[in-house]
Amino acid sequence: MIIGTMRLGEWGSNLSTEELEKFIDACVDLGFTDFDHADIYGHYTEEGRFGRVIKRRPDLKSKIQITTKCCIKLVTPNRPEHSLKSYDSTKDHIIWSAENSIKELGVDQLDVLLIHRPDYLMNPHEIAEAFSLLKDSGKVKAFGVSNFTASQFELLHSFTPLITNQLEISLLHRNAFEDGTLDQCQRLGITPTAWSPFGGGVIFSEKSSPELQKIKKVAADIGQNLDASLDQILIAFLLKHPAGILPILGSTKIDRIRAMKNALNIELSHEDWYRLWEAAIGEEVA
């Protein structure tokens, strides 16, 4: 599983440098060493916050892997030149973004760089050239995309090798199971990563819809038999899929992340998986 960083700083828990250092160390001790970033997190501040830990603890560079994303332009005082939220996957912007992320994070190289959202004006020739230059210069090891449809992925992958498509996947967001993106990952041997595996946390709300109540009841019944919590069952649901989905954990609480590690040992039966699916769609499969 992958550790998401979006809520570690300004957009969430606002951890201090010392708290963030302890959090990173605890994740590494649990065997979770892949950290998922994006340049926009915290209005372009989260990479720098993480980088302050790396600069005081350079030993971490050999212990962790860094994924980050680029090409969304937010309107924020930290980017006064942005007058409108938009996407920019031009060669110059990709290269500038990668080099800036390396500087902010305090690392020598990015393990994976993702195009954060599909740019409707994307030129696959230009993106491929940017990726090639970044790889040849040793600045980025591998490349992928996030939130791409199967056809968008197919287009770019035909010009430059991609290793992942980061998608919203959960019991509450099931499109990837049916729209061809997970099929494509299996066909190409691409590992998908899943953001918001708990549906943005709404499933844990005390006041929830009948749909959510049904999912929680079925998950509780399955969890009672497997000695597993709701969040562990939801992670096990994703891990069961043969595409090899890697969930991104957005929690800032180490106890919860530690509990998620136990989900790796949970093996849902086919029937239990479909019980959860049935609860989510509100009817039995055809």
What confidence score (pLDDT) does residue 82 get? 97
Specify whether the CB–CB gap between 5 and 36 falls below 8 A: yes
Q: Out of 3.30.390.50, 3.20.20.100, 3.30.70.260, 3.40.50.720, which CATH number does the structure's domain 2-163 have?
A: 3.20.20.100
Read off the pLDDT of each residue in 1-18 and give the average, rounded to a whole number: 96
Token reading at 268: 């849902």
The conformation of residue 252, written as its DSSP 8-state character, comes to -
For the question of residue 87 being annotated catalytic, the response is no
The conformation of residue 283, written as its DSSP 8-state character, comes to S
3-state secondary structure 133-192: HHHHCCCEEEEEEECCCHHHHHHHHCCCCCCCEEEECECCECHHHHCCHHHHHHHHCCCC
Residue whose C-alpha is closest to residue 69's, from 123, 148, 16:
148
* Average per-residue pLDDT for the chain: 96
* Structural domain boundaries in the chain: 2-163
pLDDT digits (tens, 9 = 90+) for 17-64: 999 999 999 999 999 999 999 999 999 999 999 999 999 999 999 999
Residue 202 has pLDDT above 90, yes or no: no
Alpha-carbon dihedral sign for residues 5, 150, 246, 188 = negative
Query: CA dihedral in degrees (229, 232, 237, 238; nearest 10)?
Result: 160
Read off the pLDDT of each residue in 229-233 and give the average, rounded to a whole number: 95
Which residue bears the tokens 């210069």?
137
What confidence score (pLDDT) does residue 151 get? 97
What confidence score (pLDDT) does residue 206 get? 77
- In single-letter form, the type of residue at position 221 comes to D
Residue 196 has pLDDT above 80, yes or no: yes
* Consecutive H or E run containing 226: helix 210-226
* Reported confidence tier of residue 14, pLDDT bands at 50, 70, 90: very high
* Reported confidence tier of residue 4, pLDDT bands at 50, 70, 90: very high
Out of 41, 87, 120, 274, the active site residue is: 41
Specify whether the CB–CB gap between 72 and 36 falls below 8 A: no
CA-based end-to-end distance of the chain: 32
The conformation of residue 117, written as its DSSP 8-state character, comes to S
More confident: 208 or 35: 35
